[in-house]
Amino acid sequence: MRPLDALAEVCGDVRPGAPEEGVLGVVPGLVAAPATVAEAAGVMRVAAEHGLAVVPRGAETRLDWGTPPDRCDLLVDTHRLARIVEHASGDLVVTAEAGLALDELAAALAARGQRLALDRPLPGSTVGGTIAAAAAGPLRLLYGSPRDLVIGLTVVRADGEVARSGGKVVKNVAGYDLGRLFCGSSGTLGLIVEATFRLHPVPAAHAYVTCPVTGAAQAHEAVQSLLHSPIAPSAIEVLAPTPPSCTVGVLLEGVPEGVTARTAQATALLGPDAQVCEEPPEGWGLYPDGTTLLDVTAPPTSLTHLLTEIGADALTATWSAIGRGYVGLPAETAPDKAAAIIAGLREGLARHRGSAVVCYAPADVRAAIDFWGPVPAAKLMRQVKDQFDPGHRLSPGRFVGGI
């Protein structure tokens, strides 16, 4: 039986792929959109039986991240897996399907006075795509990344078997490591179909305190003063659209009286140029401008070096005080220049045990650069890949070292 016919027997939405659906230029042979976990399992089982290479797709907000797949016989579209399965508001836990947009999930949770404490820099990003990319922003300083907020995960393995880890309550951590493993896996270990998250109450009050700074040393000093103060920030962000000049911002949340007092402390720490507002400063929680985006691990001690380095090359950046940020390269950056900038960043950050990974880049730049840089755990990652996907059919070539 042809793959198309076999897929049609287990899934209600199957069709040939179209050129505009290409994943970084690799056109899928077929597209299947399962509406249930059972349909997703059937699709993956048929793919295994026919040896099809599978690439998952959510809302396409990060489908151009990473490197092109070696092949894409089947694109599994999760847009029909878009329900809130269960919201146990009393336990501060929610289970949602992978294709649900985070914006829709946020609106439903807000109606009950709760939230999933993940920033949403790309409108329309889905639950599954956010987990697969391990995407997080400024709020990770206090609340962590998807690895910290996912307490249960349902995935379909490469052979079509459904696997579940974790549970529906925060105290149940059985199998939690499996959930953490799939965060940042870029679709290379299995198809994420459902996730259970720990939630937090929507704070009664909040305030942003921002202050412009004129150099790398001043930005570093401002961040250090905030980090070592008792103000308990939810987020500290350095926004550098034209480094080394940039803005240091801090988000304070809690009860109104506490936020007022802590805002006064933050203002005093940042100096007379500090401003207080209810709305975030421009660029807060967003990726910096540029056609090439780097995910940078830059510990607080390396902030001065990072800002100096990117200032010399007229790059843009956002950086969170947890030690993670993003750097954007201008559209006019030539491939050889981009490769030199990335190599220089990696060399400098390596002295601080930092790193720089390319998220996306134009085709001509992709051909000239190493997306990942040195990856000490590459051998272990290949072993994990072999365990979960022995045939190397899931998003082949999309991840570190061609995984």
- Six-digit token string for 163: 């696997």
Instruction: Please tell me the distance from the alpha carbon of residue 21 to that of residue 387, in angstroms, as a whole number.
Output: 30
Query: Helix, strand, coil: what percent of the chain each, to 5?
Result: 35, 25, 40
As a whole number, mean pLDDT of residues 93-108 equals: 98
pTM, rounded to two decimals: 0.94
- What's residue 311's pLDDT? 87
**Sign of the C-alpha dihedral computed for residues 59, 115, 295 and 289 taken in this order:** positive
Contact assessment for residue 28 and residue 75, using Cβ atoms and an 8 Å cutoff: yes
165 pLDDT exceeds 50? yes
As a whole number, mean pLDDT of residues 102-127 equals: 96
357 pLDDT exceeds 70? yes
Instruction: Please tell me the distance from the alpha carbon of residue 276 to that of residue 362, in angstroms, as a whole number.
Output: 39
Q: Which of 362, 352, 367, 347 is nearest to 319 (CA)?
A: 352
Contact assessment for residue 76 and residue 34, using Cβ atoms and an 8 Å cutoff: yes
Q: Which domains does the chain carry?
A: 3-79 (3.30.43.10), 84-201 (3.30.465.10), 205-277 (3.30.70.3450), 292-366 (3.30.70.240)
- What's residue 120's pLDDT? 86
Per DSSP bridges, beta strands 191-198 and 150-156 are: antiparallel
As a whole number, mean pLDDT of residues 108-122 equals: 95
Contact assessment for residue 167 and residue 160, using Cβ atoms and an 8 Å cutoff: no
As a whole number, mean pLDDT of residues 218-244 equals: 94
Quick: pLDDT tens for 329-349: 999 999 999 999 999 999 999
Instruction: Please tell me the distance from the alpha carbon of residue 62 to that of residue 77, in angstroms, as a whole number.
Output: 14
Contact assessment for residue 238 and residue 322, using Cβ atoms and an 8 Å cutoff: no
* DSSP-assigned letters across all residues of 274-334: -EEESSPPTTTTSPPSSSEEEEEE--GGGHHHHHHHHHHTT-EEEEETTTEEEEEE-TT--
Quick: pLDDT tens for 18-43: 999 999 999 999 999 999 999 999 99
174 pLDDT exceeds 60? no
- What's residue 245's pLDDT? 83
Instruction: Please tell me the distance from the alpha carbon of residue 251 to that of residue 43, in angstroms, as a whole number.
Output: 44
Instruction: Please tell me the distance from the alpha carbon of residue 219 to that of residue 304, in angstroms, as a whole number.
Output: 8
Q: Which of 303, 309, 231 is nearest to 274 (CA)?
A: 231
Instruction: Please tell me the distance from the alpha carbon of residue 306 to that of residue 356, in angstroms, as a whole number.
Output: 11
As a whole number, mean pLDDT of residues 43-49 equals: 98
Quick: pLDDT tens for 241-284: 987 789 999 999 999 999 999 999 999 999 999 999 999 999 99
Q: Is 206 helix (H, G, I), strand (E, B) or coil?
A: strand
Token pair 């400024």 is at which residue?
138
